[in-house]
Amino acid sequence: MPASHELSVRGTPVQMLQDGSGPPLLFLHGAGGAGRWLAFQERLAKDFSVYFPSHPGHGGSPAAEWIEHISDLAFHYLDLLDELDLERVHLVGASFGGWIAAEIATMASHRLASLVLIDPVGIRVDGWIYPFLFGMDIPEIVTTIFQNPMAALALAPPDQSVETLALQYRQGAALARVSWNPYLYNPLLRRRLGRISAPTLLCWGAHDKLAPLAPCGETWAREIAGARLRVFDESGHVPHLEEPDAVAEAIGEFCRLREGAA
């Protein structure tokens, strides 16, 4: 069982799960993934000391009014590294968390032992418009995100109480504040990807319908020099939920190589 910590990062309260031992690894979750310590994190914790904070406004972290741009979140996590006294980490981000991780890597690759992006959003891809999840009901969202809809059960809300619905609304609002328009991307990020010098692994679900391998994954692979691309055949947008062991294993292998090289 991971330990739950309440932190204050430059005055912004954060709830964070932590477990495992080994080199430090910061995991940035996607929308709806806050506080969900599942098979993927469990597996990572065998090789790493895993830090899993909830974004402000998500899970147990209260909303932060000052966050109005994706770069605010990137700076927030650089501050969190300082707060935790972590000079260098393996940074893993999934989907929306992958977007934040990529922003961080364009700012401070020297703080990253490695960078792992799992089906990230965040850049404008020629010939692709991300399907508008905010305009979808739950069944449409599940179909868009998951290749195996059973994997979605892990993120299902526990009940339909006022508290649960209010939390979902708060999470949606926190996400929309930084991603409603432009939707799921920062127009400046793509041309900055060339600044990323951390060794980078791209993990991609072969059946991602939100950010498909072609053209999205292929664009990321082209824009980040030397990035390695691993495709997961049974997955949609969230391979770390759909094939948790295989993705965690790929990450472990990639990061161990970097640790060895360092």
Partner 1 sequence: MKFYYFHLMPYYMDHDAPSSWVTLSNRLYDPALGHTLYNQYLDQLEYAERLGWDGLCVNEHHQNCYGTMPSPNVMAAMLVRRTTTAKIAILGNGLPLRENPLRIAEEIAMLDVASGGRVISGFVRGISAEYFSTGVNPTQSRDRFYEAAELILRSWTEEGPFPFDGRFYRYHYVNPWPRPIQKPHPPVWCPSQGSSETVEWAAKRRFPYLMVFTPIKRIAQIYGEYREACERNGYKASRYQLTVNVPIVVAESDAKARELAKKHVMWVFNTGLRMHPPFWRPPGYMTEASLRRVLANPPKLPSELEFEEADREGYLIYGSAATVRDKLRVFSDELKAGILCSGMTGPSHEETLEMMQRFSEEVMPHFREDANVDETAGVGR
Q: How many residues bind partner 1 (CB under 8 A)?
A: 16
Residue 177 in contact with partner 1, rule: CB under 8 A: yes
Q: CB of 104 within 8 A of CB of 74?
A: yes
Beta carbon nearer to partner 1, 85 or 137: 137
Residue 214 in contact with partner 1, rule: CB under 8 A: no
**Measured distance CA(144)–CA(253) in Å, rounded:** 29
Beta carbon nearer to partner 1, 40 or 96: 96
Residue 131 in contact with partner 1, rule: CB under 8 A: no
Least Å from the CB of residue 131 to partner 1:
13
Instruction: Provide the b/e sequence for 24-53 (b: ≥16 CB within 10 Å).
Output: bbbbbbbbbbbbbbeebbbbbbebbbbbbb
Kind and range of the H or E run holding 190: helix 189-192
Beta carbon nearer to partner 1, 135 or 260: 135
Q: Please list every residue from 144 through 163 that binds partner 1, using CB under 8 A.
A: 162
Residue 124 in contact with partner 1, rule: CB under 8 A: no
Q: CB of 123 within 8 A of CB of 101?
A: no
Out of 135, 158, 187, 260, the residue judged to bind partner 1 by CB under 8 A: 135
Q: CB of 242 within 8 A of CB of 146?
A: yes
Which amino acid is present at 257? Answer: L
Residue 66 in contact with partner 1, rule: CB under 8 A: no
Contacting positions for partner 1 (CB under 8 A): 134-137, 162, 165-166, 169-170, 172-173, 175-177, 180-181
